[in-house]
Amino acid sequence: MHVLAGRKMNREQFFEKLATLDEERINKALWTLYWRGSAQIRERIEAELDPGERDRRRTVATETVAAATVLDEIREFAALARSGAYLGGDRRVTPKERTRWRFTFKQLASDALASLGTDDVDAAAAAVAELIDLACEMRGYEYFRSEDPIEAARFVVSDAVAVMWATIRDRHGFAFFAEHAAPQLIAWESEFGWTRSGFGRVADQETPLGDVITKMLPATDMWITFADRYLDALDRLVDTASSTASTRHRGYPADRSRRDRADNLADWNLALLDRLFGSEAEDRLDHLATHPAFDGPERTFLQAHLARRRSDVDTARALVQKCLTQLPGHQGFLAFATEIGAQTPERSGRR
């Protein structure tokens, strides 16, 4: 076999050549490559010679990310973004930094997620949560000069949430996880994802947070525990909102916020109904289906499902017809109405 100088051998050619060398010549060739090669090559060879050292290096690299420091940096970045500093006219952020905001965001996200592997899990989780709060706001508010900031930052909200929740559960246990994750689910879930367009590389990777939670609840008692924490969080939300008007989200009317919340959590609420109906915790569904934290046709649709499960088909039909009066083209409402024999608006069939 003849290999032309300067032409890279393929795998078969390389191993065919290697087979002709004795152990001494192989060791000599490897030593020459190690001694004269780049730092990256030396690290690759050392990793193969001592896998334990490779794992130790990864651990050291992770521990160098100080969670408290990352939390401070993210809070500062978020405060500047919310103040409009990255849009211009603020000397705290240079023109160069304004154009490179997405790289800063990416680095902070990477550091925050890496810090979850350190001992300071609480500070790390707070750092990730702060960044997710900002990401959720970025969908609707102009903090940066970008048509779709989440897509530009390549930040998959659901992936970050999944890593954070799994870390909290593994470190502090399920009860602690449920207490903290339930209000975050309410605050962060988004019906159409977290990008503005709903299309693109990031949008394709997004997963509903309800699906993330579902994978973390393998047993019925876990569903009941999480449902209780979820209802507690909804109760606190209503109590707080009723005590002060300042809790309304960015000036939204209260009924609009409740309707948006019902839309965002519609699939999750139906998943709860599926899991809890017929269980010892079925009574939670009555509270959920009439909860004042929700409003609009999706809450009515949940009530229709619950009525149908209890064989009250007439009530279910009346409720889904009410839903279709508000959203006559909603495919989920139409499918359910057809399934239970409810009358549908004529115009809805032409959409």
Q: What is the mean pLDDT of residues 163-182?
A: 97
Q: Residue 94 and residue 74: Cα distance in Å, rounded?
A: 17
Q: What are 286-289's contacts with CB under 8 Å, separation 24+?
A: 287/231, 288/227, 288/231
SS (H, E, C) 319-336: HHHHHHHHCCCCHHHHHH
Q: Which of 12-16, 67-71, 112-116, 229-233 has the lowest mean pLDDT?
A: 12-16
**pLDDT number for residue 21:** 83
**pLDDT number for residue 90:** 87
Evaluate whether 93 touches 85 at the Cβ level (below 8 Å): yes
Tell me the Cα Rg of the chain. Answer: 27
Residue 274's pLDDT band (cuts 50, 70, 90): very high
Evaluate whether 116 touches 70 at the Cβ level (below 8 Å): no
Residue 240's pLDDT band (cuts 50, 70, 90): confident
Evaluate whether 161 touches 208 at the Cβ level (below 8 Å): no
Residue 256 has pLDDT above 80, yes or no: no
Predicted TM-score of the model (pTM): 0.78
Q: What is the mean pLDDT of residues 170-174?
A: 96
**pLDDT number for residue 132:** 98
pLDDT tens digits, 108-123: 999 999 999 998 999 9
Give how far Cα 104 sits from Cα of 14, 145, 153, Å.
Answer: 42, 14, 9
Evaluate whether 206 touches 158 at the Cβ level (below 8 Å): yes
pLDDT > 90: what percent of the chain? 71
What residues contact residue 350 under an 8 Å CB cut-off, 6+ apart? none
HSE-up (13 A, CA, CB side) for residue 220:
10
Q: Which of 141-145, 160-164, 344-348 has the lowest mean pLDDT?
A: 344-348
Q: Which of 53-62, 106-115, 152-161, 293-302 has the lowest mean pLDDT?
A: 53-62
Q: Which of 59-63, 65-69, 91-95, 109-113 has the lowest mean pLDDT?
A: 59-63
Q: Residue 150 and residue 137: Cα distance in Å, rounded?
A: 10
Residue 347's pLDDT band (cuts 50, 70, 90): very low
Residue 58 has pLDDT above 70, yes or no: no
* Structure tokens given for 109: 């996200």
Q: What is the mean pLDDT of residues 257-265?
A: 96
What residues contact residue 316 under an 8 Å CB cut-off, 6+ apart? 304, 305, 307, 308, 340, 342
Evaluate whether 11 touches 3 at the Cβ level (below 8 Å): no
The larger pLDDT score, comparing residue 24 to residue 290, is at: 290
**pLDDT number for residue 169:** 97
Evaluate whether 188 touches 165 at the Cβ level (below 8 Å): no
**pLDDT number for residue 211:** 97
Q: Residue 131 and residue 118: Cα distance in Å, rounded?
A: 18
Residue 306's pLDDT band (cuts 50, 70, 90): very high
**pLDDT number for residue 311:** 97
Q: Which of 26-30, 291-295, 302-306, 338-342 has the lowest mean pLDDT?
A: 26-30
Residue 244's pLDDT band (cuts 50, 70, 90): low
Grouping H, G, I as helix, E, B as strand and the rest as coil, residue 272 is: helix
Within a 10 A sphere around the Cβ of 142, how many other Cβ atoms?
11
Residue 164 has pLDDT above 60, yes or no: yes
Q: Residue 2 and residue 255: Cα distance in Å, rounded?
A: 78
Q: What is the mean pLDDT of residues 264-273?
A: 98
What residues contact residue 136 under an 8 Å CB cut-off, 6+ apart? 157, 187, 188, 190, 194
Length of the chain: 351
Q: Residue 152 and residue 104: Cα distance in Å, rounded?
A: 12
Q: Which of 91-105, 144-158, 198-212, 242-256 has the lowest mean pLDDT?
A: 242-256
**pLDDT number for residue 27:** 81
The larger pLDDT score, comparing residue 166 to residue 88, is at: 166
Listing DSSP states for 236-260 in one string gives: HHHHHHHH-GGGSGGG--HHHHHHH
Residue 88 has pLDDT above 90, yes or no: no
